Structure 1
Amino acid sequence: MTKIRWGILSTAKIAREKVIPAMQRGKYSAVTAIASRNAEQAAETAKRLNIPTVYGSYEELLTDANIDAVYIPLPNHLHVEWAIKCIEAGKHVLCEKPIGLSSAEAIKLQQAAAKKPELKVMEAFMYRFHPQWELAKELVDDKRIGPLKTIHSFFSYYNADPNNIRNQKHLGGGGMMDIGCYCISLARFLFNSEPLRVLGHVTIDPVLQTDTMASGILEFSTGTATFTCSTQLMPYQRVQILGTEGRIEIEIPFNAPPNQPVKLVVYEKNGDEEMTFEPVDQYTLQGDLFSQAILNNTPVPTPLEDAINNMKVIEAIFASAKS
């Protein structure tokens, strides 16, 4: 069976612990190379994860003719720069969310990708590929809970370490870029449209200068979505999806564990239905679906336009909070 040969740009924690092992289990993905500016760290990671080829620079990896696609888990401020370099090197690109630091950056990437239409480029919002979200979308579209009227999502964890990349403003840190982007993405995904107006409230840490708590209201033409995200609260996540005739609750909406079942509950007037999903790795699914788009020369599941629009809403939340 043909597999896409993947190169990994950096030894970031999410790559080491989540994405690489998941993609190595894929039907259509093979991780063949990894690069780091620290050659020793790259070699150590490659040995532990059984990756055959190691590079001591990102540039070297991009010149490897045996690599078809590149996964980018670099810090947020480097996403667009290196995604464009990958495109210019003739590589397909799967880039971690958020796609960049601004919608203008994302548009710049879209323009670069348009010059090489044979290449696939996508933002890595892995949650959308989990079966629980595919079912949630299907239930909403089929009006199982009646017309969709409102969504509430919550996502938080506690991390006040100033040395952590998520708390460094100049690297694109902060709660909205890290986890709030999920809350916005899912609302746009379920309403299948863009918000008409937003209202935002953002708390900025006086020392870190990053947003440590943000809440927003997104007004769509047929309903609303509200959310709160925080990097300095007790870890918690949940999504409530409400229609005129029922409600859907997703218990672990974003980082569903790959080694244990998860559940979605539909609450209706005539009773509740609990739907359990057997363990599955959403990173494996994401890698395989992207690889299949390359192999079959079909559109990627989520186009760059979606990434641009998500960034526009994030910017609008910040603008609202300031005004």
Structure 2
Amino acid sequence: MKPVVWGVLSTAKIGVQHVIPAMLSSPLVELRAIASRTLPPAQEAARSLGIAQAYGSYEELLADPAIEAVYNPLPNHLHVPLTLQAAAAGKHVLCEKPVALSAAEAETLQTASARVHIEEAFMVRHHPQWRRARELVRAGRIGELRAVQVFFSYFNDDPGNIRNQPGIGGGALYDIGCYAVLAGRYLFESEPRRAVSLVDRDPQLGTDRLTSALLDFGAGRQLNFTVSTQSVRFQRVQVVGTLCRIELFIPFNAARGEQMHLALDEGGLLDGSSVTVETLPAADQYRLQVEAFCRRVRDGASPQAGGLEDAVAQARVIDALWLSERTGRWEAIA
């Protein structure tokens, strides 16, 4: 397969530390250029990462005729505007999550998605631990899936950090709660019907620093989660069935190229001594994500998951959770 020629919009940490190294390791990727709002940061990133071309504006990169696809890890409020610009320039777009700050905003990408591939970058979908968990659920290994429980937290109260700026899409729900929502949708393989949330906002920053939610998937199936930007660093996913429980120990920030583990617990002993641990193949979820995107660019196939319709459905859930914060009630998911 001919490598896909990529450009990266911005020198964001997730790109420089995770996605770009994954791109550079793949034979399916030719990473041609990186852009920033000014030239010096782009030049520094290009030098340190071995990227051929640096651009001092996003528009310059998008005007490069050699670039076929772009990775967009810009702050959340710039996801849709720059994705639209990239699509107008004929570039396919892998956009960081959340793809938009509302379902209505995500829907503005629909016309563009008919011309180019636009996908939301949930790398966890590609990791063997998540695929194995869903395989076990599908096979009936845990009986009937009843509940998915997610906890995801870290501590960051820096007012200068984009995650702590509410006007540009900061806060726990947008940053990490989206992973929890995806976990339920991915494992139940359906959409929730209604949702209720409880939100605690930082009085100075204005962002949600602790958000919990309950999502009703119908037929007695539930997702509950808590996410926080001002709690001790921790993450875990529990997948609970009528016969067995699956536990994912590092569900979201799986180290690149390392083996992950999941636990199977049939509930024999409450002290955990009856738990069996399964080791998954070593993997780089970012590389797997980018390579899957490259293959779709080359073969023109629609994604089985992660396409724009999926991103709109994801945004509808988050919309309902914000509405529930305001009303204090269960809200239907449109």
| TM-score tier (shorter) | over 0.9
Amino acid at match of 2:229: T
Which of 222, 242, 245 matches 1:244? 242
Corresponding residue of 2:331? none
The two structures, once aligned, show a CA RMSD in angstroms of 1.2
CA distance in 1: counterparts of 2:234 and 2:282, whole angstroms = 20
Per-residue Cα deviation, 1:36-66 (whole angstroms, up to 9, x for no partner)? 1120110110011000111111111111111
Q: Distance in 1 between matches of 2:325 and 2:68?
A: 42
Q: Residues 257 and 279 of structure 1 are in contact (CA less than 8 Å); yes or no, is this contact kept in structure 2?
A: no
Matched, 1:267 2:265: yes
Matched, 1:195 2:192: yes
Aligned to 1:70: 70
Match of 2:307 among 303, 308, 321: 303
Q: Which moved more, 1:249-258 or 1:276-285?
A: 276-285
1:319 aligns with 2:320: no
Structure-2 residue corresponding to 1:41: 41
Paired with 1:185 and 1:219, the residues of 2 have a C-alpha distance of 14
Q: Secondary structure of the residue that 1:314 maps to in structure 2?
A: helix
Residue 158 in structure 1 maps to residue 155 in structure 2: yes
**Equivalent residue number for residue 292 of structure 2:** 289
Give the whole-Å Cα distance in 2 for the aligned partners of 1:55 and 1:99: 24
Which digits, 9 at most, give the CA deviation of each residue in 1:105-134, with x for residues without a partner?
1000123323x1xx2110000111000001
Contact 1:76 1:171 in 2 (8 A): yes
For the Cα contact (< 8 Å) 1:84–1:113, is it kept in 2? no
Query: Structure 2 CA distance, aligned partners of 1:171 and 1:319?
Result: 18
Contact 2:128–2:281 (8 Å) recurs in 1? no
Unmatched runs of 5 consecutive residues or more in structure 2:
269-273, 328-334
The one-letter amino acid paired with 2:316 is K
Structure 1's consecutive aligned runs of 4 or more residues displaced over 4 angstroms after TM superposition are none
Distance 1:277 1:145 in 2: 18
Range with greater deviation from structure 2 (303-312 or 272-281): 272-281
Q: Give 3-state SS (helix, strand or coil) of 1:83's partner.
A: helix
Match of 2:172 in 1: 175
Contact in 2 for aligned 1:97/1:124 (Cα 8 Å): yes
For structure 1, the residue ranges without an aligned partner over 5 or more in a row are none
The alpha-carbon deviation at position 275 of structure 1 amounts to 1.1
Name the counterpart of 2:271: none
Letter in 2 for 1:275: E
Aligned-residue offset at 1:96: 0.2
TM-score by length of 1: 0.96
Aligned equivalents of 1:134 and 1:26: distance in 2?
21
Counterparts of 1:196 and 1:44, CA distance in 2: 47
Amino acid in the other structure paired with 1:199: V
Q: Distance in 1 between matches of 2:153 and 2:275?
A: 27
Q: Give the aligned residue type for 1:315.
A: D
CA distance in 1, matches of 2:37, 2:222: 45
Structure 1 residue aligned with 2:127: 130
Helix, strand or coil at the partner of 2:198: strand
Whole-angstrom distance in 1 between the partners of 2:200 and 2:134 = 31
Q: Distance in 2 between matches of 1:251 and 1:30?
A: 33
Q: Matches of 1:287 and 1:260 in 2, distance apart?
A: 18
Q: Is the contact made by 2:113 and 2:308 (CA closer than 8 Å) also made in structure 1?
A: no
Instruction: Name the count of aligned residue pairs.
Output: 320
SS in 2 for 1:260: coil
3-state secondary structure, aligned to 1:66: coil
| Fraction of identical pairs, as percent | 48
**C-alpha displacement of 1:279:** 2.9
TM-score (norm 2): 0.93
Give the corresponding residue for 1:10: 10
Q: Which residue of 2 aligns with 1:256?
A: 254
Which segment is superposed worse, 296-305 or 227-236? 296-305
One-letter code aligned to 2:17: E
Cα distance in 2 for partners of 1:226, 1:27 equals 40
CA distance in 1 between partners of 2:140 and 2:32 (Å): 44
